[in-house]
Structure 1
């Protein structure tokens, strides 16, 4: 009888030891999974570190285009600043927002882009009876200005007073391995429902400017066979 009891005790001890070992192995597996998570969070941290660059804090969209030779053209569009009221010389009240776009030429050739907006106002499809104009200041935008009020765009009211009833245009030549940054000012009559987002993008040789859900054909670029890189 004692022998049977001893055998039972030994069996229970073995089972308990095995169970404890299994728990420890499971615990190591959990730690292993946690280590992978930590690794992922470190990778995310690198991205966050990149985005901590003062410039990248203000970028809303980035489009990277590539040709068959692997050359790149990059278009980056900013978030808005401003959102204040502007009273035109005729007494009409608008809300303005300032944006900028940076185009980087990573090809071996210079290229020229042209942008033209009419004097006409456009209607927001999602906000009936709310209209906007697009104006292009001639001021030079530099990335050192990103943290400044209105991205450093000065003398805004005199510019708006003189440009509000005129078409806007831009022509820039960008050399290899160089960037060019320029402003856009959106004048909105009666404001807009929700957040205002804009962005310049390329399809073939044609440039398009998007303002929320409105897309406007606005210019050309003398480069061929560039497609959006996925």
Structure 2
């Protein structure tokens, strides 16, 4: 009887010990899986950030009196194909985007717009172009899509004869992006580059060698970082 009792106790102890070992191993495996998922998530986000930066052509960083930054990023072009307007005229289009990141402690408010009339490049006066600002917001997810995800033909068909303007407020520690569409009466020889920047409290949009004053901002003491 005594031997049976001892064997029973030892058997029970062994079962408990095995159970504790399994629980410890299970917890360890679970933690390793969670750690692995976290690392994969961080790596995926890092790759996405790097991919987004590949679309950035120019970047301007402005500092306010307290040392906080306002960042403007401008993209490379997409498009280069033909668009036929509702009246049968053909154009060559290019799609760009601008993203503004507000790291200041104040809302950043801006209003910008372009004339419905055509502009000309200084270097090639025979090339005239029109500018449009769709109200759509560009997001990182759209950057890999055709025309950066903009439904170009639908937008232009409806807005071709309308003046292009945009009003937007970007809250502190937030960012927002928008499109700019250019229609040329004929193809442009060489490289086409554009970009939004700030000069003396005004918004300036550059198309190659052409600069257009196109808007106002509420933050007046921003200085370009060298």
TM-score when normalising by structure 2 = 0.77
Q: Which residue of 2 aligns with 1:170?
A: 166
Q: Which residue of 2 aligns with 1:144?
A: 141
Q: What's the offset of the Cα at 1:122?
A: 0.2
Aligned length: 181
Counterparts of 1:159 and 1:112, CA distance in 2: 25
Structure 2 residue 117 is matched with structure 1 residue 117: no
Q: What's the offset of the Cα at 1:51?
A: 10
Corresponding residue SS for 1:54? helix
Q: What's the offset of the Cα at 1:137?
A: 1.0
Structure 2 residue 68 is matched with structure 1 residue 71: yes
**Misfit runs of 4+, over 4 Å:** 49-52
Q: Is the 8 A contact 2:129 2:183 kept in 1?
A: yes
CA RMSD of aligned residues (A): 1.5
Structure 2 residue 162 is matched with structure 1 residue 160: no
Q: Is the 8 A contact 2:137 2:176 kept in 1?
A: no
Q: What's the offset of the Cα at 1:68?
A: 2.4
Q: Is the 8 A contact 2:61 2:71 kept in 1?
A: yes
Q: Is the 8 A contact 1:209 1:216 kept in 2?
A: yes
Counterparts of 1:102 and 1:65, CA distance in 2: 14
Q: Is the 8 A contact 1:118 1:166 kept in 2?
A: no
Q: Which residue of 1 aligns with 2:23?
A: none
Q: Which residue of 1 aligns with 2:185?
A: 189
Q: Which residue of 1 aligns with 2:215?
A: 219
Q: What's the offset of the Cα at 1:204?
A: 2.5
Q: What's the offset of the Cα at 1:67?
A: 2.1
Corresponding residue SS for 2:125? strand
Corresponding residue SS for 1:151? helix
Deviations 1:71-114 (A, max 9, x none): 11000000000111001122111000110000010101112110
Q: Is the 8 A contact 2:121 2:210 kept in 1?
A: yes
Greater shift, 58-67 or 188-197, is seen at 188-197
Name structure 2 gaps, 5 residues minimum: 1-45
Corresponding residue SS for 1:53? helix
Q: Is the 8 A contact 1:51 1:57 kept in 2?
A: no
TM-score when normalising by structure 1 = 0.76
Corresponding residue SS for 1:89? coil
Greater shift, 211-220 or 160-169, is seen at 160-169
Q: What's the offset of the Cα at 1:208?
A: 0.4
